[in-house]
Structure 1
Amino acid sequence: MTARPDVAILSNARLVLSDRVIENGWLAMQDGQIAAFGEGRPPERGEDMGGDIVMPGLIELHTDHLEAHYMPRPKVYWNPVSAVVSYDGQLATSGITTVLDSLRVWREDATDDSDGEAVLLANAISAAREAGLLRADHYLHLRCEVPMPGVVNEAASLFARNDVRLASLMDHTPGQRQFRDEDKLRTYYRGKNAGMSEADLDKMFASRIAYQREFGARNYRALVELAQRQQTPLASHDDTTLDHVEQAIADGIAIAEFPTTIEAAAALHQAGIRVMMGAPNLVRGGSHSGNVATADLAREGLLDILSSDYVPSSLLAAAVTMPTLVDGIDLASAVRTVTKTPAEAVGFTDRGEIAPGKRADLIRVHVAHDVPAVRAVWRAGERVA
């Protein structure tokens, strides 16, 4: 190709394609898209990447980190638009160019948390987007706590939004799924709400069990029907048993978030449901809840998608280090779990890989001491970080 003034060329890069790595490659961007790429010297002089990795921008399907910016301390609430802008900056500098902001669609009076603020935060994201304040491309992921009494009404007010791309069906009732070990749930809440006594926790757990008994089955069916009417992909959450897997299959679940056992993950994967696991789990070497390790699923060929969950920088760290942790997984395969596969899972066909005609959502990554650092970020060909 012959470069024109409106063509930007990156040269001397390790280009990570969806199926291989070009060790000394170049890439051309034009009109917000990838125009061409190749090996060796580019057709015209470009910006020297110094041998750094150039890969697709990361695609994040599950991060509830926005709520930490909105409520940085218990009962301390930040301006919601300002919180969105701060959070967006952290995502962009972590290499994330497309994100599904995970908003909790429920309220629980017993906790000091940002539950029940999904509408407020969704509106803040829209306001920041319309004002041109955002670096990443933002969509919504509705995290629906199935047994909560008001969850169906709250979800119904959000499902019609055109920026909703995923809804997850969660059930954190003590004694099941992620928290089969009730002591783990007690430890979790003691960390989040230091003022809660054992009596407070007993009361909360009894309330949750009662909610699950009274509302669980009815709310589950209503939420599935809402999502299906809006043609919104559904995610299951913390599948543990084969009964959970059978339910996921029956309801057309697209993504299984954080299955807790290798048996459930294997059955989900075999059924064609994409298995999502936490990047912090991989980086830390295991689950903080004592469930199955991400690395173990990767070794068994059962890992499809990584999520940063509560640490935005973990998404890139996990993708770059996975080849050193899991035999048989190369860099291209690892990067697919944070780019191409999550894009496909929620219907993004225009991004997620380096290929002609795809959006020029790209990141430049330098690795030193086994730690990746983002040096540059392009969204639709425009430098945003």
Structure 2
Amino acid sequence: MKDFAISDHPGVAAQLARLEQLSVPQGRLGLEIIEGLLARLGNPERRLPPVFHVAGTNGKGSTCTYLRMMLEAQGLVVHSATKPHLVRYNERIRLAGRLIEDDLLAELLAEVLDANDAGEDLGPSFFEVTTAAIFLAFARIPADACVIEVGLGGRLDATNVIPNPAATGIATLGIDHEGFLLRPEEGAPEVPLARIAWEKGGIVRPGAPMVTLDYPAVAEEQIAALTTQAGAPWIRRGRDWFADIDETIEYRDTRGVLSLPLPQLAGRHQAENAALAVALIRHQTTVEVSPEAMAAGIRAARWPARLQRLGDGPLTALAGGRAVWLDGGHNPDAGLAIARHFADAPPFHLITGMLANKDPSAIIAPLAGKLLSLCVVPAPGHDAHRPEDFAPFTALPAHPFEDVEQALRALPAEGDVLIAGSLYLAGDVLRRNLEFPD
């Protein structure tokens, strides 16, 4: 699967064209390539400011955003790396609170690609080159902290070469990327959720607290074993920290009680993500953040395409004044979170475009009884499910459309709209509605 971008900056476009020639050899996962590439670059991953490293099936990007905003509200300079990008490749790298500038991005990508070309070709992937460029930027530009989101899994993700993070964290656990994370491997757990926990928990490091939510026993057994083996404190929700969510987030741990505001981001799960970010900050000793800064960071956090209500734009103008929501969720865990958010809402229309390697029931099954209609559109640039793929999971007819614009024009007059099923679709929607992540 490709995950590339375009740019109107000639220098960035030239390097993205080089990136497009790279691919992951079928079945190849591991850290040897990224380690070799970083060695050619002088091992910048060993010279980073204090790092918060966050994994998870869903919620890791939002958790990273809360972390960044809390740290910045404290007055700290923060670098952050999240993925994937929605509209511009630059979204992956944020330096001192701002998206990386094109000139610097072009220079960094060229340096990494040239380092690979200078010797025997290591065969790096798009993701490994991106990660190396991130580490170069973070090592060279001073900051007080870094927030880094894991890409795929954790154990063998390209970011998992950070030697001494300030803290590691895991957001929600669920089944996703089965072709990679559940592939047969000697010594790996056989129960799917246990395997997922084993993969995500692979970011553990000796002495660095690992902060988690609470999970089913089969998952917690894996995390307990990993943290014990590494000599890392395991900070678990429901035992070491607590968060009651209603009109506020009532957080408590051995240091005391905090009453914090709910996020502006929609969905109860966002309050859970914010609480996890608070726990990560409270259980590390590298940087200090006041309760006031935590509250300010929670209020200020924005994260596009996660139950985002779209603003006025060319796309929403086609919806006739109704609310149009956008979510990039594409797995069962995301479907459940979306369903919880709309549990008390009137029925609505769903426009979906889902990658062909994803579970077609992931979004529509949790929304049973809530949908007025189902429209199926392509996932831009990728193989996508056909309308008939959804038929076993819903009594509604699945209507095919060429794009979101055509689907919006065809909807009946009543009922709000949810567009969901793919981050690639979400990025295309934001671009078409002129809402560019900043």
In the superposition, the TM-score normalised over structure 2's length comes to 0.23
Quick one: higher RCO (CA 8 Å, sep 6+), 1 or 2?
1
Name whichever structure is richer in strand by fraction.
Answer: 1
TM-score normalised by length of structure 1:
0.26
